[in-house]
Amino acid sequence: MKNLSILIIDDEQVQLISLKSFLTRRGYEIFTAESGPKGYEIAEKNTIDLVLTDYRMPEWNGAEVLRKIKELNPDIDVVVMTAFGSIEDAVEIMKAGAYDYLTKPIDLDELENLIQRVQEKRLLVAENRLLKEQLQQRFKFDAIISQSGEMEQVLNTAARVAPSKATVLIRGESGTGKELIAKAVHFASPRKDQPFVIVNMSALSENLLESELFGHEKGAFTGATQQRIGRFEQANSGTIFIDEVGDVPLSVQVKLLRAIQFGQIERVGGNKTIEVDVRIIAATHRNLEEMMKSGEFREDLYYRLNVVSIWIPPLRQRKTDIPALIDHFIQKYARENQKPVKGITREALDKLMKYEFVGNVRELENIIESAVVLCRGEYITQHDLPQQMQIVREQSILDPHHIEQGYEDKMKAYETAMITEALNQSGGNQSAAARLLGITERHLRSRLEKLGLKNK
């Protein structure tokens, strides 16, 4: 960041010359004015970072200069210099928006330290603003990688609900991108400049969960050595994302319901009601309807959370998204690892397109990161893909609980596995294998041909 541009306003010429000389030697760009109105004209015509203004002046005093400068540009920092430095004056100056005050005669070391603090603060503000802009760009709906009609429907619903205050329940398997959609909703809402606070219920023990959500008072329990505000207070005026809300125990559900319904919380160990203005976005991979039937989840809480429901389909049901996601992750991890990887071979892409992705987008990202790191050339080959991919696919297609592959594929895979095992046990003898399976040898040969195993 460049050195600050500083405007000094003082009706004493000696003070102006002294401060200008001192600060110019330290590389700052300096403007000077003998009165408030003249200083204001300079600030109108030039980019000013910091104003050092005397408090007692004939036309405008320091408080008036502060007010006028802040009206012109609230980002300009103002420091008031006064020879009448009472505590009352200082408090009023700070309340009116001054960054700080200095008493005359000016201690030059103190002045230099103060300017350094202003510069560090402005750098931090600039970095935070840039990060916020980058976050908003990253989590815009049109920045989310998708090609499928299923995801377009998800994004359409999320975009329509974003400007409202409605509570949103995002559902889908682990790794489908529920947090990504939650952030997109927040950053497309009127609360985008306010906090976005994440709390993952599955990562917290039942003992800590209530304190994490609502905070605690000093001495509320063993180890509570000081007061602590919870996630709801941290998110005040913004959005709280409650991930894996299905893991909230019944003992905490009633307090969560009160927070959502009335915007009121109480810290653990406290009896004071605290008002909070928080937008709720919740997510879960669990079947809340079944949990309600079994008494594990409160019905009234379910209906409070499920105002707008967004279901994110698993990656295996939106395979047209896979090539675009692969390209995105290749670019990301090639850049991070400084690798010259440009793309993926047709054979490797084919393997990924046929893979089931039990871990969804998160699993795909991990696979591509690994492949980019291991890749020796410019294109990822099937040899760069992890070996466990094939093992997982075989286990998945034989598991009766994974029905996405369809009846015919699963039956073919199961029959192939049975016949292969029988042949292995019989040392490749088809007659013996047929006896193990309880079928005729002719029937076995017919199935081998049908399954494409005859020559294998």
Whether 136 shows a pLDDT value over 70: the answer reads no
Poorest-confidence range of 68-82, 165-179, 302-316, 330-344?
68-82
Q: Tell me how far apart the alpha carbons of residues 317 and 201 are, in angstroms, rounded to a whole number.
A: 27
145: its two tokens: 């990688």
Ranges of each domain in the chain: 5-131, 142-311, 316-398, 407-450
Please identify, in words, the CATH class of the domain defined by 316-398: mainly alpha
What is the per-residue pLDDT for 85?
Answer: 57
Whether 52 shows a pLDDT value over 50: the answer reads yes
Which strands, in side-by-side order, build the sheet including 168-171?
196-200, 239-243, 279-284, 168-171, 308-311
Percentage of residues of the chain with pLDDT beyond 90: 41
Higher local confidence (pLDDT), 33 or 104: 33
**Closest CA relative to residue 312, chosen from 184, 163, 166:** 184
Please state which of the four CATH numbers 3.60.20.10, 3.40.50.300, 3.40.50.2300, 1.10.10.60 is assigned to the domain occupying 5-131.
Answer: 3.40.50.2300
* Domains 5-131 and 142-311 in one fold: yes
> Is 1.10.533 the CATH classification of the domain at 407-450?
no
Q: Tell me how far apart the alpha carbons of residues 247 and 368 are, in angstroms, rounded to a whole number.
A: 31
Whether 135 shows a pLDDT value over 60: the answer reads no
What is the per-residue pLDDT for 281?
Answer: 97
Where does the pLDDT of residue 307 fall: very low under 50, low under 70, confident under 90, or very high at 90 and above? very high
Rounded mean pLDDT of 391-411?
58
Q: pLDDT per residue over 26-38, tens digit each? A: 888 999 999 999 9
Going 26 to 29 to 35 to 40, the CA torsion angle's sign is: negative
Whether 78 shows a pLDDT value over 60: the answer reads yes
Q: pLDDT per residue over 189-237, tens digit each? A: 999 989 999 999 888 877 788 888 998 888 777 777 788 888 999 999 9
Look-up of token digits 């399976």:
437
Q: Tell me how far apart the alpha carbons of residues 94 and 176 are, in angstroms, rounded to a whole number.
A: 49
What is the per-residue pLDDT for 107?
Answer: 87
Rounded mean pLDDT of 326-343?
93
**Mean pLDDT over the full length of the chain:** 86
Residues with Cβ within 8 Å of residue 277, at least 6 apart in sequence: 236, 237, 263
Angle made by CA atoms 176, 181, 186, in degrees to the nearest 5: 160
Where does the pLDDT of residue 287 fall: very low under 50, low under 70, confident under 90, or very high at 90 and above? very high
Q: Tell me how far apart the alpha carbons of residues 56 and 65 are, in angstroms, rounded to a whole number.
A: 11
Q: pLDDT per residue over 412-442, tens digit each? A: 777 888 888 888 888 888 888 888 888 998 8
Contacts for 219-222 with beta carbons within 8 Å, 24 or more apart?
219/269, 220/267, 220/268, 220/269, 220/270, 221/268, 221/269
Whether 133 shows a pLDDT value over 90: the answer reads no
Into which CATH architecture does domain 142-311 fall? 3-Layer(aba) Sandwich (3.40)
177: its two tokens: 């991108």
**Closest CA relative to residue 242, chosen from 202, 215, 211, 270:** 202
